[in-house]
Amino acid sequence: MSSGHVLSVKLYAVIFGSLIALTLTTTGVAFMDLGGGGLNAVIALAIAVLKALLVILYFMHARYSSRLTWVFAGAGFFWLMILIGGTMDDFLTRNWFGTIG
């Protein structure tokens, strides 16, 4: 239930400031060469996940919502992981045994 919970303007402003700071950080990090191991992509995605969590928890009031809301939000994430994980573990393992296609 969310309509009973009014957050302060200050809290929204802090979240807003954090999101802007993280945006500048992720652009800045993109210009740094962190080696060829894919660390740049990992950091960019980690910052994106952090920003998404701030938006979901505070702007979308998930933190102050019912457990049922958490179940539905979590289900979306869970099925997304099945979609991406299931597809990638097929494609990434196709050539392991030298078979065609």
Partner 1 sequence: MSDLSIVRAHQFDDIEQQHDASWIGMWVFLGTEVMFFGGMFTGYTLYRNAYPQAFASASNHLDIWLGTINTAVLICSSFTMALAVRSAQLGERKPIINFLLLTILLGAVFLGIKFTEYYFKFEEHLVPGAAFNYEASLARPAEIFFSFYFAMTGMHALHMIIGIGLLTVLIIKARRGRFSAVYHTPVELVGLYWHFVDIVWIFLFPLLYLVGRHL
Question: Who contacts 64 (Cβ-Cβ below 8 Å, separation ≥6)?
Answer: 2, 5, 7
CA distance 35 to 68: 43
Cα 31 to its chain centre, rounded Å, is: 21
For partner 1, the binding residues in 30-59 under the rule CB under 8 A are 30-34, 36, 38, 40-41, 44-45, 47-48, 51-52, 55-56, 58-59
Find out whether 2 and 64 touch, Cβ atoms under 8 Å.
yes
For partner 1, the binding residues in 54-93 under the rule CB under 8 A are 55-56, 58-60, 65-66, 68-69, 72-73, 75-77, 79-80, 83-84, 87-88, 91-92
Ordered DSSP codes for 30-54: HTS---TTSHHHHHHHHHHHHHHHH
Closest CB to partner 1 among residues 36, 98: 36
The site for partner 1 (CB under 8 A) is made up of 1-3, 6-7, 9, 12-13, 15-16, 19-20, 23-24, 26-27, 30-34, 36, 38, 40-41, 44-45, 47-48, 51-52, 55-56, 58-60, 65-66, 68-69, 72-73, 75-77, 79-80, 83-84, 87-88, 91-92
